[in-house]
């Protein structure tokens, strides 16, 4: 039995989604040959002030995005990132060494940039030959933590990301263009929109919108839903509120018979399959999932920093549009609702960008390259 340790952190929902997608992919391909353990490196064991700082990601991005923009730009600079790593290492390295020693993995897969320098520093004392790999979960902007040297393999979600990895000195043969590791059910379960709606108890023939605010339920979702209902009065609207319980309660109280309100969901693949159009903040994993589902995207918000580049990448490729302002959102919804050819063109371009089998391809590559396994 081979052991794979996937290292993540609960800062936003994308890292968790990527870890779960990879775990499912390993299980699907190597059911009785690979044991996968997922560890939240900043919430495991006794927590110091450094681990507790990661808890602030959600509140800051929700209530003070301008502050997050400042923090992100500081961390994007190599000098700023290295300064924080040097300050935190004395407190965090003993924990990381203990995690590696107890797990005794044959392969470590990191899906979080803040974990990467700690893993590289901890490896020599635990197992100098332990393979370390990075599965990148952003879309186009490569933070210094993602490109930290010392890993045997790095994945890139897009051609611009691959180019940035290489431009910063990583060997091209260690960077593989893979896409984002979305849930394997995007590849294995692909119902038509009508069938997915029937499975959810919806009208199979009615125009359907999916509104997603990410794990924290951000992006003025209430206003977006109101504009969507005014613009498409007969549409079915699905709303994913994530961990935003206040938003969930407020929308559920409207008792709109053609609106379904969800909290944190585990079947996003099914909700996206049911939708004609997805209205979302520009989180990388949600974008990866929407493209894997082959759906046009309208961006209703973004967290300053990397998410701004995500939206631009998709819009420039013709698979999405900006809807940050009420006028923009209304105009895009009206056109997508009334012009099937326009919607079909965006749908085709989304499908061209999407990589629904990316997690399976990653697991197969890692299994053969580092664990000596062949998938059936």
Question: Could you read off the pLDDT of 215-270 as tens digits, one per residue?
Answer: 665 668 989 999 999 999 999 999 999 888 888 899 989 888 999 999 989 899 99
Same domain, 128 and 201: no
How many other β-carbons are positioned within 10 Å of the β-carbon of residue 149? 13
Residue 306 phi, psi (nearest 5): -65, -30
Same domain, 189 and 307: yes
Question: Could you read off the pLDDT of 299-315 as tens digits, one per residue?
Answer: 998 888 778 889 999 99
**d(Cα 284, Cα 137) in Å, to the nearest integer?**
7
Same domain, 363 and 319: no
Is 375 domain-assigned?
no
Instruction: Give yes or no for a contact between 26 and 4, defined as CB atoms under 8 angstroms apart.
Output: yes
Question: Could you read off the pLDDT of 127-165 as tens digits, one per residue?
Answer: 999 999 999 999 998 989 999 999 999 999 999 999 999
Q: What is the helix (H) or strand (E) element at residue 110, kind and residue range?
A: strand 107-110
| CB-facing half-sphere around the CA of 251: CA atoms within 13 A | 27
Q: State the first-to-last Cα distance of the chain, in angstroms, to the nearest integer.
A: 16
Q: Give the domain range for residue 11.
A: 2-184+357-370
5-14, 36-45, 220-229: which has the highest mean pLDDT? 220-229
Per-residue pLDDT band at 44 (split at 50, 70, 90): confident
CATH code of 277's domain: 3.40.50.2000
Q: What's the structural domain count of the chain?
A: 2
Q: Mean pLDDT score of the chain, rounded to an integer?
A: 91
Sign of CA dihedral 102, 106, 112, 113: positive
β-strand partners of 109: 6, 133
């Amino acid at each position: 039995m081979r052991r794979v340790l996937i290292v993540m952190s609960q800062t936003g929902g994308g890292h968790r989604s990527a870890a779960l997608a990879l775990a499912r992919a390993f299980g699907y391909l190597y059911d009785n040959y690979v044991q996968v353990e997922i560890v939240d490196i900043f919430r495991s064991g006794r927590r110091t002030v450094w681990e507790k700082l990661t808890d602030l990601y959600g509140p800051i991005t929700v209530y003070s995005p301008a502050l997050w923009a400042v923090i992100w730009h500081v961390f994007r600079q190599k000098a700023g990132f290295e300064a924080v790593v040097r300050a935190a290492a004395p407190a965090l390295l003993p924990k990381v060494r203990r995690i590696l020693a107890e797990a005794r993995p044959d392969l470590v897969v990191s899906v979080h940039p803040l974990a990467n320098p700690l893993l590289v520093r901890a490896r020599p004392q635990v197992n100098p030959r332990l393979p370390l790999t990075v599965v990148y979960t952003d879309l186009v902007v490569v933070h210094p933590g993602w490109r930290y040297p010392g890993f045997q393999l790095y994945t890139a979600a897009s051609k611009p990301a691959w180019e940035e990895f290489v431009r910063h000195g990583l060997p091209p043969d260690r960077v593989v263009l893979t896409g984002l590791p979305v849930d394997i059910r995007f590849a294995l379960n692909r119902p038509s929109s009508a069938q997915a709606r029937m499975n959810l108890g919806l009208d199979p023939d009615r125009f359907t919108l999916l509104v997603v605010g990410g794990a924290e339920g951000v992006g003025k979702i209430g206003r977006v839903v109101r504009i969507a209902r005014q613009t498409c009065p007969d549409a079915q609207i699905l709303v994913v509120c994530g961990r935003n319980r206040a938003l969930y309660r407020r929308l559920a109280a409207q008792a709109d018979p053609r609106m379904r309100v969800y909290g944190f969901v585990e079947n996003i693949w099914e909700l996206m399959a049911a939708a004609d159009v997805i209205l979302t903040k520009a989180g990388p994993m949600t974008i990866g999932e929407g493209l894997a589902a082959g759906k046009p995207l309208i961006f209703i918000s973004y967290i300053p920093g990397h998410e701004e580049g995500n939206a631009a990448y998709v819009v420039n490729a013709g698979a999405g549009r900006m809807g940050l302002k009420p006028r923009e959102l209304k105009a895009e919804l009206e056109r997508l609702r009334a012009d099937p050819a326009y919607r079909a063109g965006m749908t085709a371009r989304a499908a061209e960008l999407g990589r629904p089998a990316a997690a399976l391809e990653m697991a197969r590559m890692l299994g053969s390259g580092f664990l000596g396994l062949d998938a059936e």
